[in-house]
Each structure stands twice: as structure tokens, then as C-alpha cells.
Amino acid sequence: MTTPIPKTLVISSTVASSRVGASAASFCLQRLGIETVVLPTTLMGRHPGWGAPGGGAVDAARLRDVWEGVKAQDLHFDAVLTGYMGDTEHVALCEEIIGHVFAKNPDAIIAVDPVMGDHGRLYIPEARAAAIIERLVPLANFITPNLWERDYIQNHRDVLPARLITSYPNGEDIGARWEEPVGDGITAFQVSHPKFTSVPHGGGDSLAALFLGRRLLGQSPRQALAASVSSVYEIMRAADALDAGELPLIRMQAFITDALPLHVTS
């Protein structure tokens, strides 16, 4: 009897020429041996950080129609990963999809990357950010905000699920931190590495997917944190050496599975 291959539904942006969003997440998961199905919230030509991206958000009715086709296949999903929401209506659809997946598989892992802002400001409309906080965050087994997003969500919601906080500073270093509610407190630990002078696009998308993938493969949060941060760090080192503005995921894909785990500290 063969071991079933985990399957993840990725709901995020699709960017044709940039290894970010669903493109980065699905590749990282597939490289770990996890099947992916992608629902695209955007269809763009390139990352907006390069300039006018071309394309834009997928019409909410069209996205729903795509989901209806996926749903008709009666697939079994072991996880859902939500990322960038191109429209506020996408959030309501994601809530519905998560409910459907969870009804069929109560053990499914729900991971929400609340892509909404950084550096002191939102880069999506406030109403869309509020919808993510109110409708998706409560459904998550864990969320993967950057530090600014974590603080913003905490300012708008009393109770947070477990969270993988990206771009978490530790003195002169940076990395990621896991925080998990336990009783009246939290269990927390982190993995740090030297900072880079410039940060390529796609790191957060890749880290969220790799952490989820490691959890699907049975690793503990501590093990998954060490492995996933190590993978992204090694690929970022390569991006820095190549002076690349995006993660060279294809060229450096061996690090997705074979990076030496960094040290975890409390």
C-alpha cells in the first residue's frame, strides 16, 4: 500500500515572470513532495516592486467559477494556504472554501499569510485588511505575518492563533519566530541569521509554504522552523551573491530539502 501524497490548496497571487506568491509557494511545496492546486487571486506580469506589473486582480466571480471546477473534482485537501487577496470579495470566498475543506477533512491544516502591509503602513485597502483579520485569521491553525502585520492584527483582534512571524529582528540578526498560545501565555522560539543589505522578493511566500510543508510531513513546529528558515536563508545567500532581486528557487532548489538546519533559540 502506497503512502498518500499530501495535497495543499494554495489561494494566492499568480505573477507570470516573478517567483513570488503562488508560484513560489507551489514550487516549494512540490519540491517537498506535496501536490498543489492553485486558485489565482491575481494574474500579473511581474512583481509590483519592479514597476507597473501588468494585469491585476482576478474577478471574484471568475475565481468562484474556477473554484467550482476544482470542487467538482472532489479532491481531498490536507491543507489550505492563503496569501495575497486581490479583492475584498476574495476573502469571503476563501472563508467559504476553508469551510468546505474543513468539513471534508477536520484534520486539514489552515495556514493564513495575512499579506497586508509592512514598514508602518497597509498596502491593501483597510476594508480588505479588516476582512482578513475578521474572517480568515480566526480559521487558521497558524498565520504567517511579518512583524508589522503581527502587531497590526493584535491591535485589531484580542486573540491570535499560533503565528510564524517573518523578518523578526534579533539584535543585529534577523529571522523568524514561532509563537503559540499555551494556557495564559505563549510558547516562543526563533531562528536567526545575518541580515542582508537587500531582501529579494518571494522570501515570505516561500517561508510560509516551506513551514506548512514541513508540518504536513510530520515535523514539530521547532523542527519545521529550523528547516524552513535554513532553506530560505541559503537561497537568499545565493540571491545576494548573484545580486538577484528575487529568490533563485529553481537554481538553488536543492536547499529546499537539504539545507543544514539553523540553531533554534528560546
Residue ranges of the domains in the chain?
Answer: 7-265
C-alpha cell at 182: 499555551
Q: 181-224 pLDDT, tens per residue?
A: 999 899 999 999 999 988 899 999 999 999 999 999 999 999 99
What does the radius of gyration of the chain's CA atoms come to, in whole angstroms?
17
pTM for this structure? 0.97
The pLDDT, as a whole number, for residue 213 is 99
The pLDDT, as a whole number, for residue 57 is 98
Q: In Å, what is the CA distance from 181 to each residue of 59, 140, 141, 164?
A: 37, 13, 11, 12
Mean pLDDT within 155-180: 96
Task: State the DSSP H helix or E strand holding residue 192, giving kind and residue range, or none if neither.
Answer: strand 185-194
Give 2's pLDDT tier (boundaries 50, 70, 90): confident
Mean pLDDT within 80-98: 99
Question: How far apart are alpha carbons 55 and 3 in whole angstroms?
Answer: 40
C-alpha cell at 261: 538546519
What percentage of the chain carries pLDDT values higher than 70? 100
**Among 48, 49, 50, 42, which residue's Cα sits nearest to residue 22?**
42
* Per-residue pLDDT at 1 exceeds 80: no
Question: How far apart are alpha carbons 5 and 30 in whole angstroms?
Answer: 10
Indicate the burial class of 197 (C-beta count within 10 angstroms; 0-12, 13-18, 19 or more): exposed
Q: Looking at domain 7-265, which CATH architecture does it have?
A: 3-Layer(aba) Sandwich (3.40)
Mean pLDDT within 25-51: 97
Question: How far apart are alpha carbons 58 and 64 in whole angstroms?
Answer: 10
Question: How far apart are alpha carbons 90 and 139 in whole angstroms?
Answer: 15
